[in-house]
Amino acid sequence: MELKVAKALPKFPRMKTQMAGRPVADTLMVAEFLKNFGSALNLDKSSIPTFESLERGLLNDNEDDVEEMSSLFMHLLRVALDDLGVPNPKEATTKLNQKVTEMEMTDSTMSEILRIFVGARGEKEMADWLKDKPLEALSPTCKAAILAFLCNELLTSKSVTNEIDKHMDSINNLRRDKWVVEGQLRQLRVFQARKFNKIHRSSDRRLTSIALNASANAGAASNDTSVLNTSCSGSNLSALGDDDTMSSSKMGSDEEDDKDEDDEKEEGEEGSGNESDGTSSVATLASTNSNFNIEPLDESLSMEESDKRLEKLRKQHAAFRQKVFRASLRLRAINMGQDRYCRTYWVLPLTGGVYAEGMESGEPEIFEQAQVA
C-alpha cells in the first residue's frame, strides 16, 4: 500500500548520547520510572539521577556519577530483595550455601548478589554476564539492561503498587467531580430548553422535543440513576511504560470521556433521555465521596443568569478535564504510534518531550532482518 502523495517527514535532532539505541531506551525508561516512583522507593528527590547522570554512570565517564550509579543499583537491589524476594530461596544461595537474602550487601558483594537475584528471577542470560565480571566492568548496554530489569521487577512491589492505587483513587475522585459537573451541565441545558426553548445545537431540531419530553418524565426517570454511577467503577489507569504493567486500561479512560461526554464540542448530545435525569443522577453521584459542592438548580433563573451559570460550569468542566489528563500522565508514557519508517513516538511526561524510538530498540527483529538483507 503506497501513498500517492507522500509528504516529506521532518528531520528530528538526535539526542546527544554516546550509547546505542537499546541502552538509551532503557535509560530513558529508568529515568521516567525513578521520577514517578522514587518517593515510594524511599529515594530522596535530590538523589534521583537525571538521564545525563545515568548515561555518564553507565559509561564510567565521571567518578561521582559512577558512585551514584553503584549506590542506585544497591538501593534498588535491596528494595527488590526485601519486597519481592526470590521464588525459591533454597536455590538462591552462594557456593557456600549462604542465602542471598542473608548476605550483607557491600560494594564487593553487590555483583554476586545481583547475579544470584537475576538468575533466580528467570534472567539466566543476565546472570551469565556477571559470572566472570563485576557489574562495573560490564558494557553500558548490559548495565542499562540490568537496571531496566530491576525497575520492571519493582513495578510489582508493594510500595509501587500502593502508590499506583493511591494515585488511581485520586484520579477517580477527580473524574467523579467532573461527572458531577457534566450532570449539572445537562440539567441546566434541559432547563433552558424547557423554559426558554433554547436549543444549543440548531442543526439538531430533534433535540428540543427529546429534552422537553425527558424533562416532563423526570419523575419516572428517577429509577435510572445508574447512568453515571455505573461508569464510576470502570475507570482504570496504566502505570508507566506499556499498557500491561502500567495499565489497568487506557490512559485514564480519557478516550472514553472524549467519546461519551465531550460537552463543549457536541453539546447537542446531552439532551437525550438518559441524560435528562440530571437531578437524580447528580445527587446520587455527589453522595459517593465527592468533594465537589453542588448548587441546586433554581427554577426562577432568568435567561442571562442561566447563561452565566452555564459558562461557569463549562469552565469548571474544562478545568476538571485538564486535571484528570495531567494526573493520568503521571502513571504512564503515551505511545503515539509509528511512522512509515517504523519509528515509535513516545511522550514521556516527567522526563519531558516527545521521543522518536528507532527500529534498533523499538522493532529489533525487523531491524536485524534489515541488517541481514
Question: Which residue did the predictor score with more confidence, 339 or 237?
Answer: 339
- Which whole-number Å values give the CA distances from 52 to 24, 36, 58, 62, 352, in the listed order? 11, 17, 10, 11, 13
Does the structure show a pLDDT above 70 at 199?
A: no
Exposed/middle/buried for residue 198 (C-beta within 10 Å: 0-12, 13-18, 19+): middle
What are the E-state strand segments in the chain? 334-338, 344-347, 354-357
User: Which of 126-135, 159-168, 195-204 comes out lowest in average pLDDT?
Assistant: 195-204
What residue segments make up the domains of the chain, in order of their start? 21-154, 164-329, 333-373
Quick check: 254 and 179 in contact, CB under 8 A? Answer: no
- Average pLDDT on 36-54 reads 88
Question: Which residue did the predictor score with more confidence, 46 or 214?
Answer: 46
Under DSSP, is residue 266 helix (H, G, I), strand (E, B) or coil? coil
- Average pLDDT on 33-62 reads 88
The pLDDT-based confidence of 18 (bands split at 50, 70, 90) is confident
Does the structure show a pLDDT above 90 at 228?
A: no
Q: What is the DSSP letter of 149?
A: H
Query: Which ranges constitute the DSSP H helices of 86-157?
Result: 110-120, 124-132, 140-154
Give the model's pLDDT for residue 10.
76
C-alpha to C-alpha distance for 287 and 247, rounded to whole angstroms: 28
Under DSSP, is residue 344 helix (H, G, I), strand (E, B) or coil? strand
User: Which of 48-52, 93-97, 262-266 comes out lowest in average pLDDT?
Assistant: 262-266
Q: Which residues fall within 8 angstroms of residue 323, CB to CB, at 6 or more apart?
A: 174
The share of the chain scoring above pLDDT 90, in percent, equals 12
C-alpha to C-alpha distance for 190 and 210, rounded to whole angstroms: 9
Does the structure show a pLDDT above 70 at 57?
A: yes
Give the model's pLDDT for residue 217.
45
CB neighbours (10 Å) of residue 199? 18
Does the structure show a pLDDT above 60 at 139?
A: yes
Q: Which residues pair with 99 in a beta bridge?
A: 93
User: Which of 65-74, 177-186, 233-242, 247-256 comes out lowest in average pLDDT?
Assistant: 233-242
Question: Which residue did the predictor score with more confidence, 352 or 271?
Answer: 352
Quick check: 229 and 284 in contact, CB under 8 A? Answer: yes
The mean predicted confidence, pLDDT, of the chain is 73
Give 270-313 pLDDT, tens digit per residue: 444 444 444 444 444 444 445 555 566 666 677 777 778 788 88
CA nearest to 321, candidates 333, 332, 313: 313
User: Which of 35-39, 310-314, 329-333 comes out lowest in average pLDDT?
Assistant: 329-333
Give the model's pLDDT for residue 141.
92
The pLDDT-based confidence of 346 (bands split at 50, 70, 90) is confident
The pLDDT-based confidence of 251 (bands split at 50, 70, 90) is very low
